[in-house]
Structure 1
């Protein structure tokens, strides 16, 4: 009798471990990998030390917000100075998959640092997932994100989505550091 109980307990523990691993694998299945390339302009004083937030959206109104691009997925190595004149900076990380390819981008500077102004040439985004085809979109920015230089804004929005006027609330997936959460 004691052997049967021990065997049952042992089986229960193994079953628990297998089910736990299955749920972890399943949860990672719904994540996509986003790789973001950011080109800073080569004009004088184009670089910045400000923190950049990127919001990527699809044509259905779903989006992913990355609040601090460098902390989320900076790939350039320790001690690297991001968003400096002439640089091509690369970021990559996981986040929830969108329902369609990325077609809209909101790039926002927090305006911090000794020289907050920043000139961005472009942002290129690639995304892929386990059951999601690879997609790529380049957003031409060619704009200062600054309060002391035209257009006197810290945000650049580029929307290449096909117009869909349905009046519904915009659904947004929100990021905090390297963890993206659904609102």
Structure 2
């Protein structure tokens, strides 16, 4: 006895037979013969093998709980990595002095630094070279490591080798006055710490601002084993009449 809905699957159609009290009754067979195609010789009655719809079985591989200690640790490490990378780029160039800088939290000015290494024997170095630039008002910017800040010579280039002209460029806070004083430094690290520098040339510009250019002639060793036996040198052009042309206030200009 069947008192439920039966489904029969043929090759081309699926038929809902409805509810019948008894499959062997004459009324049931008559109704079935009217529903099935005339050329179909399917037996009347329940199929010998029931039709089971396929079911997709998904393995239990759920993601870790967001509140689990492992997931919290992973998120913390990820945030720390990006924060350290951002802080490193921000520390590459810092403000030197107090006051006098234009309000520039987005560092909209661009500085380009050209460094010429002397061709003298053992004049190249593996040390990190930095430069501090000041205007006539005593304020400016400090770049601790030129290569890290804005090396432009391409991957694999060996900076500060004999006879090199190395170029560096990057963003920084805008100076109100053009740079006229420079302090060039070496950290003295590496296999060849001694370095002979011919000159450092700097250009600085920003949006709606003039372009300032200054040449700082060095022509000396930055080393502990050669005169003047120190790893820094300062070049002051602020009082130079020839250089004074670029020391006026860098007022905005119409473009």
Q: Do these two structures clear the TM 0.5 threshold for a shared fold by scoring above it?
A: yes
- 1:131 is displaced (CA, Å) by 2.6
Summarize deviations over 1:18-37 as a string: whole Å, max 9, x none. xxxxxxxx854x62100000
Q: Choose between structure 1 and 2: higher strand proportion.
A: 1
Tell me what 1:74 maps to: 151
Q: Does residue 1:153 correspond to 2:226, yes or no?
A: no
The alignment partner of 1:132 has SS state of coil
Aligned mates of 1:27, 1:55 — CA distance in 2: 19
The alignment partner of 2:210 has SS state of strand
- 1:99 is displaced (CA, Å) by 1.0
Contact 2:188/2:194, CA 8 A, preserved across alignment: yes
Q: How many residues align?
A: 137
For residue 108 of structure 1, the aligned residue among 163, 176, 185 is: 185
Structure with bigger gyration radius = 2
Aligned mates of 2:208, 2:175 — CA distance in 1: 12
The alignment partner of 1:101 has SS state of coil
Summarize deviations over 1:89-120 as a string: whole Å, max 9, x none. 00000000111011000000000011100000
Greater length-normalized contact order (CA 8 Å, ≥ 6 residues apart):
1
For residue 125 of structure 1, the aligned residue among 202, 222, 243 is: 202
Tell me what 1:168 maps to: none
Contact 2:105/2:173, CA 8 A, preserved across alignment: no
Tell me what 2:137 maps to: 60
Tell me what 1:32 maps to: 109
Aligned mates of 1:118, 1:56 — CA distance in 2: 20
Contact 2:117/2:161, CA 8 A, preserved across alignment: yes
Aligned mates of 1:99, 1:133 — CA distance in 2: 11
Query: After TM superposition, where is structure 1 displaced by more than 6 Å over at least 4 residues in a row?
Result: none
Contact 2:117/2:196, CA 8 A, preserved across alignment: yes
- 1:83 is displaced (CA, Å) by 0.3
For residue 45 of structure 1, the aligned residue among 102, 115, 122 is: 122
Q: CA RMSD in A?
A: 1.4
Q: Does residue 1:91 correspond to 2:168, yes or no?
A: yes
TM-score, normalization by structure 1? 0.72
Tell me what 2:35 maps to: none
